[in-house]
A and B are shown apart, each in its own frame.
Chain A
Amino acid sequence: MLRFVVFRLLQSLVALAILSVVVFILARATGDPLHMILPMNASEEDYANARQYLGLDRPYVEQYLSFVGRAVIGDFGNSIRARRPVIELLQARLPYSLKLAAFAMVVSLALAFPLGVMAAVHKGTGVDRAAQIVAILGQSLPTFWVSIVLVEFVAGRLQWLPAGGADSLASYVLPGFTLGWFVVAGMMRLLRSGMLEVLDSEYVKLARLKGVAEHRVVWVHALKNALIPVVTFAGIYFAILVTTAIVVETVFAWPGLGRLAYDGITSRDFPVIQAVVLTTAAIVAAVNLGVDCLYALIDPRIRYGR
């Protein structure tokens, strides 16, 4: 098992190394950050000064090596726009991203459970279809549209919940719901098909024959077994939530990583772009690693399969 974990860890590091080259090139392809920070009347001399000051006049290879060399020890350099260490920005943003993703996870689980179970129990009926549609609706509307409608009506008109910021628990509700609803469909599908499999199994039939009450069959025996795939995929969904929150963060003025990346891209802030992409990639890699290890624990064949 230890060998497997070390092996997978090495694989993730290789993937991150590939990504570091890609993001380094892509960030520089976006253009010149100086156009954003220098005034309109800057002369060619001003541009040269600033370039030298920011270290952007060095050869690309040197810039890349210094970026990777320092990134390994958690130093992503200074933000060109905000003029402060990128790691400070990450430290300020990452917790908010993680908290929002966690809240969205709770929301989506809270929606996916009743929907998935209802759909499985009433398979093929109108209830099943209705549950599926409710779940899929979240995936069928652009999140920014859902967010804006919620901000306009629930926050602005009805004034039930805060419209933006991350000041109180209540301010998690709208962004968390928007984000959570988006992944309900995926979770609910997992649960539904898992439940169907289990409900069809000898094990459940036996439980029924033994006279176990139907709601106990469904909620205890079947659900327990259908949970395994959901738990393993929950990690992956969590990673998806962290990395796709950019739209929701924009609408709800949420101080998370996505918005940091967006600002980084629009202001050609290379160090910020690099840092956010690598950080989110590391999160995804860590989650995948965890999921794989979990799988390997459950099903030893996988250790050899890969």
Chain B
Amino acid sequence: MKTTTRIIMLSLLALAAAASPARAQSKSELTVALSSFSAETLDPALQGHNVKYYLSLMFDYLVGVTPDGQPSQAGGLATKWEPSADHKRWTFHLRKGVKFHDGTEMTSEDVKFSLQRATSKRSTTGYAGPLRTLIADIETPAPDRIVIVLKEPTLIIPTYLSRSLSTEGMVLPKKYIEANGDDVFARKPVGTGPYKFVEQAVGSHIKLTAVDNHWRIGVPKYKNVTFRLVSEETTRIALLRRGEVDVADISRERVKELEKEGFPIHMRKEEAIIHAWWILGPEGRTPPTKDKRVREALNLAIDRNEIAQSIFGGYAEPAVIPMGLTWAFKDVGFKVTPDMAYAYDPARAKKLLAEAGLASGFTLDVYAFQLPGFAEGKAFAEAIAGYWEKIGVKSKLIPVDYPAFRKMWVDRKAPGAVGYYNIANRDWIGAYALLEKQGYTPSKLNDTVNDPEIDGMIAQVMRQTDREKINALMRNIFTRLRSEHHGLPVVYVHSPYATSKTLGKYNPGTVMYDLFIDELARR
């Protein structure tokens, strides 16, 4: 008996020794732990949900952006671009001497090929649809020049092909893909970015290694970058504490604790708006939320300050405009005035319900689910349902996972039920892209608004090339979204990322689903 115990003890000790505490991370390695990888395919044309944390290291965009999302001639493969006078031909001048990881040189043929591939039927990228309907032709007059010919005049092309939105602007190697096929490319992707693909273990990690020298960041500071998928928060934090991970997304709940321990926290301010809405029926809004007063009442019943302070640990601000992306407000000169804010006023909410003939309340289905970057999802749903109970609206929580909710939403199977989303903040073109998806009746499946007046204004924005007129249209759209209560804007959330104590300065930027790890690798 004693011998057995001794053997067990010895083997446990041996294991503990093998696992000597917090091995020092060599400077040449950078490890990023993320709670979600979204679709784990490495082919940019198959990334439906725009998650580009690792893709933006392997590929360069036609149009680069600064970490703050501003188009930058220094950050992309195009050094300069200009529209024709009628805004129907956009010419992009390409950087010379850029090579793919397999050694071939990048030319305008590659850009053309990539764009055609991104808008092909097979593509599942975020904006393949609008681009497909917009682009008439792509010309390649010279290896360093490409002209995109459009069916309608528009200003949105450079932004749609930039790093600030989805993956359509990523430039892929034409020869490599044509020679090896899509499947080989998806498994062993080749790009022009500062990091080359090494290996992927689906559901576990993606390893990249630095190129010798990159036109954008010079000699990369880290030899290897690894992205690890660690879905459990406690585990990500433990990895960070042990020094096994250098960057990790963390929940707002644990910011104070980690700050106290001296871990630098990088906040992406107002990263997203938490926006809830009522699912439309096949013919648009259905009673009782067809009544504007009911929509207002449900808005007034929510104490946004309390939600910001408690559910989001103080790292959130009350939101005012449905689908109101604040970075777009700046671009189009939209001012949020104090009278626009929804007061927490259950008494008035009850009065509005009574006026709408619903004094005795009604039943409301609330879908409850979590989303990447919105771990508080279920608590949030419980909280808003709790507020509505207080004004006599019987709120039934329906726990689902996101794909199930999305099916209810786009199939219009549950008219009037409440769903929500964390909508990444973006500039005016990004905001326009969002409205064109979720606030525009002709976009059918995803529409959440169904308001002819708004539809008319959205239709004008795409064809409009006068910024002043665009700005006025956008301001009017936001004003009407608010005055008609087309949704439940709740809060803007700040998203924290923790880094190891030795990592130094880091700006995770403001671009959605991108962490600008390449900026971290800049010497």
Contacts and interface: CB of A to CB of B under 8 A. Distances in A.
> A and B touching (C-beta < 8 Å)?
yes
Given A39-B127, A173-B19, A268-B403, 11 more contacts: A35-B407, A36-B403, A39-B50, A148-B234, A151-B232, A156-B238, A163-B235, A169-B19, A215-B1, A251-B232, A253-B204
Nearest to B3: A219
Counting chain B CB atoms within 10 Å of each CB, which of A37, A148, A253, A266 scores highest?
Answer: A253
A164 B401 contact: no
Contacts of A171: 19
Interface string A40-51: 111110100110
B15 A40 contact: no
B437 A169 contact: no
A93 B229 CA distance: 15
Interface string A156-185: 110111111100111111000000000000
A170 B49 CA distance: 36
A267 B231 CA distance: 15
Contacts of B232: 148, 151, 164, 250-253
23 contacts: A32-B407, A36-B403, A40-B126, A40-B437, A40-B438, A41-B126, A43-B445, A53-B122, A81-B40, A83-B41, A89-B203, A110-B8, A151-B235, A151-B238, A152-B238, A156-B237, A161-B16, A165-B205, A169-B15, A253-B228, A253-B229, A260-B203, A268-B403
B4 A43 contact: no
B403 A31 contact: yes
A133 B99 CA distance: 66
Interface stretch (B212-220, B239-247, B272-280): B239-247
Contacts of A169: 15, 18-19
Interface residues of B, number: 63
B211 interface: no
Contacts of B403: 31-33, 35-36, 266-268
A117 B229 contact: no
Counting chain B CB atoms within 10 Å of each CB, which of A89, A113, A155 scores highest?
Answer: A155
Interface in A114-151: 114, 117-118, 148, 151
A84 interface: yes
Given A44-B444, A114-B1, A160-B16, A31 B407 contact: yes
A97 to B, nearest CB: 12
Nearest to A81: B39
Closest 7 CB pairs of A and B: A170-B19, A156-B238, A163-B238, A255-B204, A41-B437, A155-B238, A159-B21
B407 A92 contact: no
Contacts of B203: 89, 93, 255, 259-260, 263
A255 to B, nearest CB: 4
B19 A161 contact: yes
Contacts of A267: 403
Contact of A41 (B239, B241, B443): B443
Contact of A173 (B15, B125, B242): B15
Nearest to A166: B204
A21 interface: no
A38 interface: yes
B85 interface: no
Contact of A253 (B1, B183, B231): B231
A42 B122 CA distance: 12
Contacts of A263: 203
A240 B237 CA distance: 30
A169 B16 CA distance: 10
Counting chain A CB atoms within 10 Å of each CB, which of B21, B235, B239, B445 scores highest?
Answer: B235
Given A114-B5, A160-B19, A266-B401, A37 B238 contact: no
B404 interface: yes
Contacts of B205: 165
A155 B242 contact: yes
A82 interface: yes
B127 A41 contact: yes
Contacts of A39: 48-50, 124-129, 166
Give chain A's interface secondary structure class: helix
Contacts of B21: 159-160
Interface of A: 31-33, 35-44, 46, 49-50, 53, 79, 81-84, 89, 92-93, 110, 113-114, 117-118, 148, 151-152, 155-157, 159-165, 168-173, 215, 218-219, 250-253, 255, 259-260, 263, 266-268
B4 A156 contact: no
Nearest to B230: A253
Interface of B: 1, 4-5, 8, 12, 15-16, 18-19, 21-22, 39-41, 43, 46, 48-50, 121-122, 124-130, 166, 183, 186-187, 201-205, 228-232, 234-235, 237-239, 241-242, 244, 401, 403-404, 406-407, 410, 436-438, 443-446
B202 A84 contact: yes
Nearest to A79: B202
A223 B116 CA distance: 72
A36 B229 contact: no
A273 B127 CA distance: 30
Nearest to B126: A39
A43 B19 contact: no
Given A35-B410, A253-B228, A263-B203, A44 B186 contact: no
Contacts of B124: 37-39, 42, 46, 50
A195 B186 CA distance: 57
A250 B242 CA distance: 19
B234 A152 contact: yes
Nearest to A41: B437
B187 A84 contact: yes
Contact of A82 (B1, B40, B437): B40
A255 B201 contact: yes
Contact of B228 (A41, A53, A155, A165): A165
A44 B410 CA distance: 10
Contacts of B406: 35
Contacts of B183: 83-84
Given A250-B231, A250-B232, A156 B19 contact: no
A77 B205 CA distance: 22
A44 B239 CA distance: 43
A6 B50 CA distance: 52
A163 B437 contact: no
B432 to A, nearest CB: 12
Contact of B446 (A40, A92, A219, A255): A40
A170 B18 contact: yes
Contacts of A114: 1, 4-5, 8
Contact of B48 (A36, A84, A156): A36
Contacts of B410: 35
B202 A219 contact: no
B440 to A, nearest CB: 9
A113 B407 contact: no
A41 B446 contact: yes
A162 B243 CA distance: 10
A49 B122 contact: yes
A270 B362 CA distance: 39
Contacts of B436: 41
B47 to A, nearest CB: 9
Contact of A156 (B127, B234, B407, B445): B234
B13 to A, nearest CB: 11
A156 B436 CA distance: 45
